[in-house]
A and B are shown apart, each in its own frame.
Chain A
Amino acid sequence: MHVLNFTLLTLAGALLAGLVGSLTGLGGGVILVPLLTLGLGVDIRYAIGASLVCVIATSSGAAAAFVKEGFTNIRVGMFLEIATTVGALLGTVVAVYVSSSTLAVIFGIVLLFSAAQSMRPRVEHISMTEPGTLGDRLRLASTFPQEGEDVSYGVEHVPAGFAMMFVAGILSALLGIGSGVVKVLAMDRAMHLPYKVSTTTSNFMIGVTAAASAGVYLHRGYIDPVLVMPVVLGVLAGATIGARLLARVQVKPLRLLFTVVMVALACEMLYQGLTKRI
C-alpha cells in the first residue's frame, strides 16, 4: 500500500476511534492498538508508540476543559503521578523482555477487563478524610461544583490507591494505553473520591503517565512520525467532534455497542497472541 492510501485509511480509523472514545467516555486509546495491529497489520511496537502519543493528545485536550471547571483534584493527581510515572518507567523495562505475542495476550485480558468495568453501575461516594491518615497529612480533601454549590469531599485508603496507580503505570507503558479504567478504579473504588472527580483526575494524570514511557519509546525507535501523524490528527479530530455532539447523542446504546466491539477485539487479540500470529 502507498503511504498516501495508508495515511487516509489510518486517519479514518483513528477519527472513528476518537469519536466513539470521547462520546462513550471510555477513551479511544484502548482500541487503537487492536485497530492498527489487527486492522492494518502494523507491528505492535509501532502501534504502542503511536497509541501512547494519541493518549497524551486526547487526555491533554480533555483535561484543559475539566481542570478549568474545577472537578479535577490536582493534588491527588500530582501525588499519584509519582506512582504512575515510576510504574510507567518500570513498564518500559519489562517491555524489553516480553514478546509481541505475550503483549497481545495481556492486551486481550485488559480489554476484557475494561469491557466488564464499563458495564458496572456507578456508585457515588462522598467520604470524609479520617484525621491522622495519609490523605489527611497530604491535605487531599477538596471540593467540586454541583448545582452551583461547592461540595466538600475527603479521601480514604491512599496507600491502596497509590499501589493501584503503580499497576496502571506499568500497563500504560506496556500496552500503549492510558489505563483510565484502572486509574478510575483506584480513585473511585479504593479512595472513595466522587465519580466525576475520579474520572477527570484520571484523565488529567493520563498525559503525564503516557509521556513518561513515550520518552523512552522515542529513544527506542517505536515512534514513527509518518504513522503517528494520521493517528494523532484523526483521534484529536474525532474527540473534538465527539465533545460537540455529546449533548445530542444517545450515549447508552453507543456505550453498549462499543463494549461489544471491545470484547470482539479482545477475543481476536487473545487468539492471535495465543497462536503466535502477532
Chain B
Amino acid sequence: MSDAPAGHAHEDFALEQRLGTLLRAGVILSACVTLAGGIMYLAAHGMAPTSYHIFAGEPPGLRTVRGVITGAARLDSASIIQLGVLLLIATPVARVFISVIGFARERDWMYVGCSLIVLGLLCYSLIHGG
C-alpha cells in the first residue's frame, strides 16, 4: 500500500512534530500559571463565600487580553489565573499560526489561505470579542 499516492503524509511530518510539541508546551505552561494563581487566590480569599448560582459577569479587568495582562503584572491572583486561561485559549491559535508557516514552507498556498481564514476568525474573537 505504501507505493500508492501517499497524499501529503510525508511532507507534513515535520509540521506534525512541531504542532505536537507546541500543543503540549502550551497546555503545561498554562496549567502551571493557573495553578500558581489559584494557590495565591486561595491563600488570600479561601474563606470568602461563593456566588456562582447568580450570573453577574466578570469585572472589566478580567474580560480583555490587555486587562488580564495588566492585572497579572500587578500580581493580582485572579488575573494570574485568567492569564493561564488566556495562554490555554492562545494555544490553538498558535497552532494555526504555525500551520500557516508550515504550509507556506511547503508552498501549499491553498492551505496557507485556509489557515489564514481560521487565524483571522480566532484573532477577531479573542481581541475584538465577536
**Chain A residues packing against B (C-beta within 8 Å):** 1-4, 6-7, 40-43, 45-46, 53, 56-57, 60-61, 63-65, 67-68, 70, 72, 74-75, 78-79, 81-82, 85-86, 89, 92-93, 138-144, 149-152, 207-208, 210-216, 218-230, 232-233, 236
In contact, B47 and A3 (Cβ under 8 angstroms):
yes
A57 vs B87: C-alpha distance when bound (angstroms)? 10
A233/B1 in contact, CB under 8 A: no
B95 to chain A, nearest CB (A): 7
Contact yes or no, A68 B17, CB < 8 A? yes
B41 to chain A: which residues have CB within 8 Å? 3, 225-226, 229
Which residues of B from 57 to 78 have beta carbons under 8 Å from A? Answer: 57-59, 62-64, 78
Q: Is the CB of A4 within 8 A of B47?
A: yes
Q: A207-B95, A221-B58 are in contact. Are A64 and B114 (CB under 8 A)?
A: no
Contacts of B54 in A (CB 8 A): 43
**In this complex, what residue of A is CB-closest to B126?**
A215
In the docked arrangement, what's the CA distance between A31 and B46, Å?
A: 26
Closest residue of chain A to B60, judged by CB? A221
Q: Chain B contacts of A212 at CB under 8 A? A: 121-122, 125
* A6, A40, A60, A151: most-surrounded residue (chain B CB, <10 A): A60
Q: CB-CB < 8 A to A75: which residues of B?
A: 7-8, 12, 111
Minimum Cβ distance to chain A for residue B33 (Å) = 10
Count residues of B near A (Cβ-Cβ below 8 Å).
75
> SS class of chain B's interface: helix, strand, loop or mixed?
helix
Cα–Cα, bound, A70→B50 (Å)? 45
Which residues of the other chain, B, contact A67 by a CB distance below 8 angstroms?
16, 19-20, 23
| The one of A3, A85, A224 that contacts B48, using a Cβ cutoff of 8 Å | A3
Closest A residue, CB atoms, query B62:
A225
Chain B residues packing against A (C-beta within 8 Å):
1-2, 4-9, 12-13, 15-17, 19-21, 23-24, 26-27, 30-31, 34-35, 37-38, 41-42, 45-50, 52-59, 62-64, 78-79, 81-82, 84-86, 88-93, 95-96, 99, 110-111, 114-115, 117-118, 121-122, 124-127, 129-130
Residue of B nearest to A73 (CB): B7
Please pick, from B48, B49, B129, the residue contacting A215 in the complex, using a CB distance under 8 A: B129
Residue among B1, B26, B42, B130 making CB contact with A219, cutoff 8 Å: B130
Task: Determine whether the beta carbon of A53 is less than 8 Å from that of B118.
Answer: no
B31 with A211: CB separation less than 8 A: no
Pairs across A and B, CB under 8 Å, 22 listed: A1-B50, A2-B50, A42-B53, A56-B88, A60-B26, A60-B91, A63-B20, A74-B19, A82-B118, A93-B130, A141-B7, A142-B12, A152-B5, A208-B118, A215-B89, A221-B62, A222-B58, A225-B41, A228-B34, A233-B34, A236-B27, A236-B31
Q: Report the nearest A residue to B20, measured CB to CB.
A: A68
Tell whether, in the assembled complex, residue B8 and residue A139 are in contact, meaning their CB atoms are under 8 Å apart: yes
Taking A213-B125, A220-B57 as contacts, is the C-beta distance between A1 and B49 under 8 angstroms?
yes
A67 vs B16: C-alpha distance when bound (angstroms): 6
- In the bound complex, what is the Cα–Cα distance between A64 and B127 (angstroms)? 26
> Given A152-B7, A216-B125, A229-B37 in contact, is the A53-B89 Cβ separation under 8 Å?
yes
- B90 — which chain A residues lie within 8 A by C-beta? 211
Q: How far is the CA of A56 from the CA of B84 in the complex (A)?
A: 12
**B126 contact set on A, CB distance < 8 A:** 211, 215, 218
